[in-house]
Amino acid sequence: MLSDRGRVRRHNEDACAAAPLHNIFVVCDGMGGAAGGEIASHLAAEIFVAQLSQNGAEDRPQFRRLQSQIAGAVQASNRAVYQQSRKTPHLSGMGTTLAGLAYTPTVHDDAAQLSEAPLWVVHVGDSRCYRWRQRRLELLTEDHSLVEEQVRAGQITAAQALESPMRNVITRAVGTEPTVVPEIHEHYPQAGDLYLLTSDGLPRELSESEIASILCKIPAEPTQAALQSACRQLVEAANQRGGNDNITVLLVGFVPD
């Protein structure tokens, strides 16, 4: 994983965190000014990972329980950011996006039978999760943003959304309200899958084909060094295109038990 300030912004308001032993990963993109955005993103990322890691340490959860624990971790992050915002005047209104992954390889279901568990993808706002499978890049999340809603309604095209003056307006965020509704979906990973969590600074500079051109260089059985190298290449490519926003990328390679 790698987080970069970019070429234009004076501060990095993105954050990323991971607990690889518990298969928990998250990227956040803060808002609310330099201090507020940075605090919101780091606080949300840290609490999300800590909450799920603690649950995993106590008991390997059934995968349906893991889904509710993910929702609970997002609410804990939301509560922490919201409360900090309320009690600190200069942080008022701060918030953050969130995109995360959580996975428990094998579990016993309610019938006490061994089953393969899904990988859970959670997001709030316009941070994204992509899947790279069999040399094909697929976006697994839909942005909670004004322009995305306009695209889905047929009011503007995807190309127009990229140039819209409203492209920074998100419709859902962690910490701006007392509660938040995260979007959580299950996906069934395959050997060789790569999952990319990213703040919006990457897709605003690079097209999906350009992202894919970097991911396709990763070996079928990637090492940690190979994944980190790909993260650097993605950030460098986005910066070469202008680096107009903070850029954070986190790559997870799937290797089944």
Query: What pLDDT digit, counting tens, does each position of 123-145 carry?
Result: 999 999 999 999 999 999 999 99
DSSP string, 83-94: HHHHH-GGGTT-
- Cα–Cα distance, 67 to 124 (Å, whole number): 15
**Strand 95-96, strand 24-31: pairing:** antiparallel
Residue located via tokens 């996975």: 103
CA 205 to chain centre: 17
Q: Are 63 and 55 in contact (CB under 8 A)?
A: no
Domain boundaries, the chain: 2-105+113-253
Full-model pTM:
0.92
pLDDT value, residue 113: 42
- Cα–Cα distance, 69 to 77 (Å, whole number): 12
Q: Are 34 and 90 in contact (CB under 8 A)?
A: no
Tokens for 62? 């059934």
pLDDT value, residue 112: 41
Paired residues of 185 in beta bridges: 121
pLDDT value, residue 34: 62
pLDDT value, residue 117: 77
pLDDT value, residue 6: 96
In this structure, CATH architecture of domain 2-105+113-253: 4-Layer Sandwich (3.60)
Provide the 10 A C-beta neighbour count for residue 140: 17
Beta strands per DSSP E along 97-142 = 98-103, 106-108, 114-116, 119-124, 128-133, 136-139
Residues of the chain with pLDDT under 50: 108, 111-115
Q: Are 101 and 124 in contact (CB under 8 A)?
A: no
pLDDT value, residue 62: 58
